[in-house]
Amino acid sequence: MSWWQGLLGFTSGLVIAIVTAPVGVSGAVFLLPVQLSVLGVPSPAVTPTNLLYNVVATPGALLRYLGRGQLGGPLTRLLVAGTLPGVVAGALVRVFLLPGPQVFRLLVAGLLLPLGLWLWVRTLRPPRRPGTVVDPAPRAVVVLGFCVGVAGGIYGIGGGSLLGPILAGRGLPVARVAPAALASTFLTSIAGALTYAVLALSAPGDIAPEWALGLACGAGGLIGGYAGAHLQPRLPERGLRLLLGGLAVALALLYAAQALSG
C-alpha cells in the first residue's frame, strides 16, 4: 500500500462513516466501489478487506450508542442470530462458487431503489391515521438477518444498508434500528473476516484481506462513525428517514450503473 492509497482510504472511511453512521450503515457498501475502482484491490480480497473495515470502524459509533443506552435488546439479538451463520455461508459461496458481481449489483439495485423511494414517500406523506408500530415477527427478523449475512459474506457489505431501510420502512424508529444494525454488522464482520482468514490458508487466489488498507480505511471510519453517532440525537426522525432513503436510492443507482457498464 502506497501513502496515497492509505490517505485516500482513511479519508474515504472518515467521510462515509460520518454520513452513514447516524442511520445504522457502516458505509462499507459505499467503500466497496472505491476499493475496486480507485484503490485496485483484487477480487475476492476486496470482500474480507471491506469486512476488516467494518471491524475497525463500527466500534466508534457503537460506543456512542452504548453510552446513551441504545445498544442491545431483542432486535439486536435476533439480527445477530441470523447474520452470523449467514456470513459464514456467504464466505464459502464467494470463495468456491465465485458468483458474478453484476448479478448481485442488479439485485441490490432492484431492491434498494423502490425501498428508498417508498421510504421517502412514507416519510413525506405519512398516513393520516398512523397506527401502532408492530414489531416484525422474530422468525422473520432472523431470516432477514441470515439473507443479509449471506450477502455480507459474499460481497463484504455490512448489511445496515439493507436492514435499515427494511426495518425503518416497517415503521421502527431509526434511533432503534441504527444501533441494532451496526451491532449486527460488527459481529458479522468479525465472523466473516475470520472465515476468510481460515480459507486463505488452503484455497488459492487473493483471499486474504489487504490488511494495511483495511486498517487505514477502518481508522477513518472509527473516527467518522463516532462523530456520526454523536450527531444522531441532533437530527430529527424525519430527517434520518429521508437520509436513509437517500442512501438507499444513491446506492441503488451506483450499483445499477456499475452492473450495466461492466
For residues 164 and 147, what is the distance between their CA atoms, to the nearest angstrom?
14
Given a cut of 90, whether residue 156 has pLDDT beyond it is no
How high is the pLDDT of residue 104?
65
What's the total number of domains in the chain? 1
How high is the pLDDT of residue 58?
93
- Tell me the residue range of the domain where 165 lies: 3-261
Confidence of residue 82 (pLDDT cuts 50, 70, 90): very high
Nearest to 82 by CA among 179, 169, 183: 183
Q: Do residues 149 and 83 lie in contact, with contact meaning Cβ atoms separated by under 8 Å?
A: yes
Locate 11 and state its grid cell.
479519508
* CA triple 39-97-5, angle to 5 deg: 10
How high is the pLDDT of residue 14?
95
How high is the pLDDT of residue 2?
85
Q: What pLDDT digit, counting tens, does each position of 105-149 carry?
A: 777 788 778 888 888 888 887 655 555 666 788 999 999 999 988
